[in-house]
Amino acid sequence: MKPLILITNDDGVQSRGLQHLASLAKEFGEVVVMAPDRNASGVSVSITCTRPLRVKTVSEEEGLAIYACDGTPADCIKMGVEYFCSRKPTLVLSGINYGSNASINVVYSGTIGAVLEACLDGYQAIGFSLLNHNPQADFNACTQVIRHILQQVMQNPLPTGTALNVNIPRLPTDQIKGIRICRQAPAAWVDSLEKRTDPIGRPYWWMTGKFVCNNPGEDTDEYALAHGYASVVPIRPDYTDYAALNQIKHFES
Amino acid sequence: MKPLILITNDDGVQSRGLQHLASLAKEFGEVVVMAPDRNASGVSVSITCTRPLRVKTVSEEEGLAIYACDGTPADCIKMGVEYFCSRKPTLVLSGINYGSNASINVVYSGTIGAVLEACLDGYQAIGFSLLNHNPQADFNACTQVIRHILQQVMQNPLPTGTALNVNIPRLPTDQIKGIRICRQAPAAWVDSLEKRTDPIGRPYWWMTGKFVCNNPGEDTDEYALAHGYASVVPIRPDYTDYAALNQIKHFES
């Protein structure tokens, strides 16, 4: 039996990035897409607890079924594996996201929220993002990197409990120098909210901000991407700061 | 000048848990509350990018100002520090949450989402949760643990980049045995979605699920809580799986 691959994203089921990822995944197995019915960027690992969820069938063809859910990317993973996959998926993919999920963007990303959810549920999971927010972004430039990574994972499963956050630079295929394994670059978003005044004089605020990542180490995703490489960061949904466990031992009572 | 303490939560500005935390924090400094104007449980580190945010003044008294924002807990942190704190907060607190944020609940929690946001922004941040979902929960049982931790942090700042996830067992004060520094227990939520049928025959799904944490290690938060201790897990917004960096080196090309 062919491997089953579940795919979601946070840009919504109509996204060209999702469609490109699904067409690549079809080379490796049967594909089920369960994606948000609208843009769900910035929702992190949100789950929907206060209202019920609905699912619409978009299309059901041989080897590729596409469903839209009115929940978050993490909801889509739970929904997909519990009700729309005929067997346990071999692999869960998320993306291809419009724009970077490198460095601390990983924290806010719905794309990576889905990856963390799938990892918690015991699946091999990979998020893909292209550093291009343009609606006409050329996702073909991602093909070589994604095929390489899918081939690797199909041959050698990921370590248990580890997922991957893959970011691809905004370059033509022949200018992407290769793939680098990296750690998440430390960075900050500053001046996050812009204050404006509405026509009747009341204040409101828009999320905006400037990404500041000064001198990322050579082993980070930001460094790799800035130097023409695709970055692969192994991630896991364990937020423990192991290095700090001893440093705060004096809190015990 | 007194230390400034910014407080948020995910249960909403009206929460008794938030009020109890604010009253304790007032013992240590001037308090600004910027909390969601409604329940925002399960929203993780979500930020609001697709619509503008609004803020309402709830009350402004000497040493305690309370504001409600129509965004997420992470939005509240950005809003609070950028526009409603007269100076840099010494400390950012979140909670007291109704119900556990131990183990993998940390991933979904809006309470901890705010803590991770504050940590990314360079602040000392602590999330507090009581293992009690009852609307009549007795938050007085948290007082001793929270005071102890606030005293510690005021005397010795947290390691740079480290935040705390504090969970308090559902026990009378005199039965809480103490405080333990722990790692996050591995666990799973299973059977997450319950399928139902609406009056006109269409399916819908409710988020539910069963928390499964078999044999948590003795150094985990679940173990500490099950044995009558408050758990303190040092956390940080770096999702890199450092142990896996070498294991997946063969992905490079």
SS percent in chain A: helix, strand, coil, step 5: 25, 30, 45
Mean pLDDT of A3-7: 98
pLDDT the model gives residue A105: 98
CA distance B171 to B16: 18
Q: Is B112:B74 a contact under the CB 8 Å cutoff?
A: no
Instruction: Choose among A4, A193, A229: nearest CA to B251.
Output: A229
Instruction: Choose among B103, B110, B101, B104: nearest CA to B41.
Output: B110
- B252: which residues sit within 8 A by CB, 6+ positions away? A178, A179, A180, A181, A232
Q: Is residue B97 over pLDDT 90?
A: yes
Q: In A102-120, which positions are buried (b, 16+ CB within 10 angstroms) versus exposed (e)?
A: bbbbbbbbbbbbbbbbbbb
Q: Is residue B89 over pLDDT 90?
A: yes
Percentage above 90 pLDDT, chain A: 99
> A82 to chain B: which residues are within 8 Å by CB?
191-193
Per the prediction, chain A carries an average pLDDT of: 97
Phi/psi at A128 (5° precision): -120, 135
Q: For the complex shown, is ipTM > 0.90?
A: yes
Q: How many CB atoms lie within 10 A of CB A245?
A: 17
Sign of CA dihedral A86, A92, A96, A99: positive
Q: Is residue A122 over pLDDT 90?
A: yes
Q: How many A-B residue pairs are in contact by the CB < 8 A criterion?
A: 246
**3-state class of A5 per DSSP?**
strand
What angle (nearest 5°) sits at the alpha carbon of residue B140, between those of residues B138 and B142?
100
Mean pLDDT of B163-168: 98
CA distance A153 to A124: 9
Considering only the beta carbons, identify the residue of B179, B192, B249 that sits closest to A181. Answer: B249
> B104 to chain A: which residues are within 8 Å by CB?
120, 237
Residue pLDDT, tens place only, A123-152: 999 999 999 999 999 999 999 999 999 999
> A106 to chain B: which residues are within 8 Å by CB?
239
CA distance B37 to B56: 9
Q: Is residue B114 over pLDDT 90?
A: yes
Query: What residue in A sits closest to B148 (Cα-Cα)?
Result: A251
Quickly list DSSP for B190-213: ES-EEEEE-TTS-EEEEE--EEE-
**What residue ranges define each of the domains in chain A, with the CATH number in brackets?**
4-251 (3.40.1210.10)
Q: Do A44 and B113 touch (CB under 8 A)?
A: yes
Confidence band for A1, pLDDT divided at 50, 70 and 90? confident
pLDDT the model gives residue B1: 85
- Closest CA of chain B from A63, distance in Å: 24
Q: Which of residues 177-216 of B touch A (CB under 8 A)?
A: 178-181, 183-184, 186, 188-189, 191-193, 195-196, 202-207
Q: Does B101 touch chain A (CB under 8 A)?
A: no
Q: Is the peptide bond before A146 cis (omega within 30 degrees of 0)?
A: no
Mean pLDDT of A58-87: 98
pLDDT the model gives residue A126: 98
End-to-end CA distance of chain A: 56
Q: Containing H/E element for B98?
A: strand B91-98
Take residue A219 and report the two structure tokens written for it: 């082993």
CA distance A54 to A71: 8
Query: What residue in B sits closest to A157 (Cα-Cα)?
Result: B248
Helix axes A143-155, A16-25, angle to 10 degrees: 40
Residue pLDDT, tens place only, B64-76: 999 999 999 999 9
CA distance B139 to B129: 10
